[in-house]
Each structure stands twice: as structure tokens, then as C-alpha cells.
Amino acid sequence: MEEMSKKKKIFYVLLAAFLVALVLRVFVIEGFIVRGDSMHPAIESGDYVFVNKLAYLWSEPERGDVVVAVTRELPTKLLKRFVGLPGERFQIVGGQIILRDVRTDPGEVLQETYLDDPSILTDGDTLIVLDPEEYFALGDNRGVSIDSRELGLVDKWDIKGKVFGVFSFKHFLYKGL
């Protein structure tokens, strides 16, 4: 009789652990292996990223956040960095990103301290005024990244979560973001 009771307890503990893990996976944390070099060198193809699905429940995304989102043009999840925030006048000209308050403002060149190489130029010429619920996302490896320049803007409700960590299988190393 006591043996059956131990087996029952072990079963219930395992069932509870499985249910907690399932709830965490579905509602709180997601992880996946990255395919592609658009975020190189911060995140490389083959790295495993950890995504906090609740990161923006009580706060707003900030410039420089690496997020998982979908765009209006491509329903596939993308891993990109937010550079343009809601309500901003955002321009790419001459390889630089310029933020303007108003149309006649000469603007301020965005200092992207998160990029390893500050001489990286952003291809394309565009002028966008972001609506209150829109974000402009770019990959760090601008030469190969398919991002908001081609796929359009990211709507707030299409943000799936914020990347908070990366595990490199190649170097067997964890790095936070």
C-alpha cells in the first residue's frame, strides 16, 4: 500500500512540474534557434535566444531593444532591433539614421552604441512618421538584414517578446542582452 502511495506522489510531482513548464513556455518564456545572420555579431545563426513574452506588459519597448515580432508584410517571426519609436519622425539618408522633431528640423543622427562597428551604414533612403503604435526595426547586420526597410513597420500588438539572453552553442557561452 505504501509503495502505491509513493508512486502516486511521484506521478503528481512530475505532472505538476510538466504543467508549470507548459504554462511558462506558452505564456512567459519562449526560446528558439536563430537562422540567419541579420543580427550578427550580437546574435549569430545557430544561437539559442530566450524571449520574455511578458516584457512589455507593464512597460513600453525602448530604442535598442532586440525583439521578436511580425510585420504587416511577413507573418513569420523576425528577430530585430527597434530603432524608431512611436510618434517619431525617422529618416534614413546618406547611410545614417536621423531623428527629427518636425519636418524642418535638421535632426539628430542616431548614435547606435549597441553596434560593434559604428561605421556601419544603413542602406536606403526613407522618411517615415511613425504612428503612436508603430515601430521601425532593423537588423544589426544591415547589409543582409531584411527588416522594416523592406517589410514595413511593426505594430505594437505584433511584438511577441523581448530577447533577454542568448546561448551560443558554437562557443558554449551564455550572454545577456
- Is residue 45 part of the annotated active site? The answer reads no
Distance CA(39)–CA(10), nearest Å, equals 44
In the numeric block, the cell 527597434 is attached to 82
Distance CA(44)–CA(167), nearest Å, equals 10
Three-state DSSP class for 19? helix
DSSP letter (8 states) at residue 122: -
| Strands 126-129 and 66-69, sheet pairing | unpaired
Side chain identity, residue 26: V
- Is residue 156 part of the annotated active site? The answer reads no
Question: Which of 80, 40, 81 minimizes the C-alpha distance to 62?
Answer: 81
- Which one is catalytic: 5, 7, 8, 38? 38
- Which one is catalytic: 6, 53, 80, 168? 80
| Residues noted as catalytic | 38, 80
